A and B are shown apart, each in its own frame.
Chain A
Amino acid sequence: MDIKKILIPVDSSEASERAYSYGVSLAASLKAEVILYYVTNATALLYPVYRVTLAETDTDALTAAGKKYIEGLAAKAPEGVKVIPETDIGDPGTFIVQKAEDENVDLIVMGNSGKGAVSSIVMGSVSHFVIHHTKVPVLIVK
């Protein structure tokens, strides 16, 4: 068995930045490549307008911000680690599980609490969803 490909899903929370630092460092030790993945939460976009979809320009702006954010993170990767930044719009949990399957990753590294979580003591809803639904090993970083 070999760990060649690691998926690191992030939002812009502190927990996922810690997961990213941990994940790329682990990738360096294992000589694995990293897919850095940011999903613009489409369901979060719906709430402020009572479930009416926002104009496309708004989702574009959010996706662009997400892209800029992960490209910034990718630039901070340790030397020798290949980091591929990717973004999508949708439900983060579902998209992360799908991405892991499509890319045939060997490991998912993620933070314990995302932006929506009440506290780091309570498991983030996205991590919880991913552990429930994926067959890929999941490493939860606090």
Chain B
Amino acid sequence: MKIDIKSILVPVDESEPAQHAFDYAMTVAEALKAKVTLLYIVDPAIISADNYYIDYGQVAADVESYKKSADEYLDSLIDAAPKDVSISKVISVGSPSREVYRYADKEHIDLVIMGNSGKGAISSLVMGSVSASTIKHAKCPVLIIK
């Protein structure tokens, strides 16, 4: 068997494991000459979690501002990346547990590299729900980084 890894998906948020996953992905992508897609998912459920009631107009406005800061964050990652790695960025809105594997399947991604716990996790030793869901549902191999 000869594996051919041409496309790597790296779902990120601002967490430390996501940063580690990004660094690791750069090493792998450079060695394998693979293209990297950074995926940032804005989760409206988290944006509205602090409120007692949900004001949908406010959520929509917040989503826009989160998308803007996500875009700046992705640009900062890309700026710090090795110049010989081709990186693109995608920002989408939805539930990360679903969006990561859906995107990977839709775009025929060869490998997902992701941090184990996002911002919501209690500890880095417990598997994050997004990682667990992605391993369970994605058709491609998934590399989990702490």
Query: What number of residue pairs across chains A and B have CB atoms under 8 A from each other?
Result: 62
Shortest Cβ gap from B55 to chain A (Å) = 38
- Tell me the A102-126 residues at the B interface (CB within 8 Å): 107, 112, 121, 123
Residues of B within 8 A of A72 (CB): none
- From A3, A121, A133, B136 is in contact (CB under 8 Å) with A121
B126 within 8 A of A: yes
Q: Would A1 and B24 be within 8 Å (CB), given that A22-B141, A139-B143, A140-B144 are in contact?
A: yes
Residues of A within 8 A of B28 (CB): 3, 30
B7 within 8 A of A: no
Shortest Cβ gap from B127 to chain A (Å) = 5
Q: Is the CB of B139 within 8 A of A25?
A: no
Secondary structure class of chain A's binding surface, majority of residues? mixed
Shortest Cβ gap from B111 to chain A (Å) = 8
Residues of B within 8 A of A21 (CB): 1, 3
- From A25, A112, A131, A138, B1 is in contact (CB under 8 Å) with A25
Q: Would A132 and B143 be within 8 Å (CB), given that A3-B27, A22-B3, A123-B136 are in contact?
A: no
- Tell me the A2-39 residues at the B interface (CB within 8 Å): 2-3, 21-22, 25-26, 29-30
Give the distance in Å from the alpha carbon of A132 to the alpha carbon of B124 in the complex: 9
Give the distance in Å from the alpha carbon of A2 to the alpha carbon of B145 in the complex: 15
Residues of B within 8 A of A134 (CB): 146
Shortest Cβ gap from B23 to chain A (Å) = 6
B47 within 8 A of A: no
- From B2, B139, B144, A138 is in contact (CB under 8 Å) with B144
B85 within 8 A of A: no
Q: Is the CB of B31 within 8 A of A3?
A: yes
Give the 5 A-B CB pairs with smallest separation, nearest first: A21-B1, A139-B143, A25-B3, A137-B145, A141-B141
Residues of A within 8 A of B142 (CB): 139-140
A68 within 8 A of B: no
C-beta contact mask, B108-139 vs A, less than 8 Å → 1, else 0? Answer: 00010000100000000111000110011001
Q: Is the CB of A29 within 8 A of B31?
A: yes
Residues of A within 8 A of B59 (CB): none
B91 within 8 A of A: no
Q: Is the CB of B141 within 8 A of A142?
A: yes
B32 within 8 A of A: yes
Give the distance in Å from the alpha carbon of A127 to the alpha carbon of B95 in the complex: 25
Q: A3-B27, A30-B32, A138-B143 are in contact. List 10 more A-B contacts (CB 8 A).
A: A1-B23, A3-B28, A26-B3, A26-B5, A131-B116, A131-B131, A131-B144, A132-B125, A137-B145, A140-B141
